[in-house]
Structure formats: structure tokens, C-alpha cells
Amino acid sequence: MGIPLATPASRPEDGASWVSAGRGGVLVGTTADGQLVTSDPVDQRGSAVSVAALDWQPVEATDESGGSVPTPAWFPTWDPSGERFAALGGDLSDNAAVTMLIIDPGQGKLPPLKPKQAVLAGPPAWLDANRVALLSGSAAEPTSILVDTASGKATNGPTGERRLATSADGKVIATSAGPGAPVVLRSSKGWLADDGTSIGSVEVPQGATEATALALDATGKRLAIVWLREDGITQCDIHDGADGWRRVLSHAATVVAWLR
């Protein structure tokens, strides 16, 4: 079973400001200036690890013309195989200019995919090996789009969520509609069908305002939530689906990922 990885808010310049875990304990992250980096394999034998303490290397993939990976790039998230990742490229303050990158660190990257709809800041959520859900619309009226990673074709997805995260196998999705809203867990099929079903939920804890990051483990049986508290500090709570999504651990953190 994987363990959560967290980076302290006080030292983002020393490591990655976002992390996602792939095969063999290799993490991909984004530095504060938008450079994509990968870590040496993380020891998966048990204890928690600070992301800031890891050794990181720049991603040196190239496109078909030999060009380097464009920067800035944000929110890299490994696919179900843990061999390639999706990331958002461009200035996140200009939603209409954001592209999606699909990068295989060992083989280079595919050409950037430019959805016609505006893309909001938020990590891509892999639904399967060939589909990624992205946040779209506006902060006032958020929606989602589903992008085919081979063709770049985008279709409309469910509406109303401001945070999305899927399990590594893509079968379970965690969502949050923003400040004051609970984190709701659904099967990905149920979410796509917008059928109103759920497999659990976690209410905003006392003293917190909203979820700022979500992470599910490989099969969606455990959930990590980074909450923004009213005092401006963040905390990460771990919840166990086998125990009614009860909180089983709390730790100071700003980002979190489950090892595979």
C-alpha cells in the first residue's frame, strides 16, 4: 500500500510545488517557476517522506521537432500505467491559452493538445488510459471537459466541481464544489453519467474553509484531502474508505500523493 508524500509550505523552492506518483516510486512535480521535474525512486517501505528532501531532475523530453518541453507547465499527473503524465502548459491566469501536454519522460512528448474550451487551473484527472478530465468554464460556473489524449478531441463533462482527482486506476473520482462543500466520492462511471450516486463523502472539518487538493490511492479505497483552514494554514487529512471514510491521520501539508 502506498504512503502519502507531502511538502511543507515553507520550502516549496527546495522541491516541487505539486507532486504525482508513477511506477516504481518515481514522482513528477512542478517547481515554483513552472519547471517539470522528476524524483529519484522513493523508498516505499513505510515512513512518510518530505518532498523537499528528495533529489529532483528536470524533465528533458522533446517533441517531434526536437524542441524542449515548453514552460511553464503545471499539475503533472501520471496516467494509470504510471509511465506518462498529463500537465497544463502556459499562463494559468489566461484560461483560454492553456494547453494540455502528454509527456513520456523516457520517449519524449506528444504535440500539445489545445482544447477549444477554456481550461481552469487544476490537475488533470485520468479516467482511463486515453481520457483525461480537465476543469473548464469559469470560477463562477465551473464545468469539465473530457479530452481524448490521442486525438485531442474534447467533449463536455459534468458541471459544478472545482476540484477533481481520480484513483490511479481511474475507477473512483473525488470531487469538491468549492468553499464550504464536502468532498464527494463516486465511481467514475457514475460521475460521467451524472446519475447522482456516490460511495461516500467527507464534510468540511471544523475550522476549515475548503479542500485545496485531493488524492486517491491506487484503487480509490483511501483519500487524502488538503484543507485550507480559517487561519490560513493547510492540513492534510487521510480517510479510510473501509471505515466509512473516517479520518485516520492528520498532518501539516500543502500537497500530497499516494505511492503506487
Which CATH number fits the domain that encloses residue 250?
2.120.10.30
User: What range defines the domain where residue 104 resides?
Assistant: 4-258
Q: What is the pTM of this model?
A: 0.89
Distance between CA 1 and CA 259 in Å, rounded?
8
How many domains does the structure of the chain reveal? 1
What pLDDT score was predicted for residue 3? 47
CB 222 within 8 A of CB 212: no
What pLDDT score was predicted for residue 236? 93
CB 174 within 8 A of CB 185: yes
What pLDDT score was predicted for residue 16? 66
What pLDDT score was predicted for residue 233? 94
What pLDDT score was predicted for residue 13? 47
Distance between CA 220 and CA 240 in Å, rounded?
10
* Alpha carbon 65 to its chain's center: 29
Nearest alpha-carbon partner for 175 in 149, 200, 209, 205: 200
pLDDT tens, the chain, 260 aa long: 444 544 333 333 445 678 899 988 899 999 888 889 898 888 766 555 666 677 888 887 766 666 677 778 999 999 999 999 999 988 888 877 888 888 888 776 666 677 778 889 999 999 999 999 999 988 889 999 999 998 888 999 999 999 999 999 999 999 999 999 999 999 999 999 999 999 999 999 999 999 999 999 999 999 999 999 999 999 999 999 999 999 999 988 888 889 88
What pLDDT score was predicted for residue 188? 98
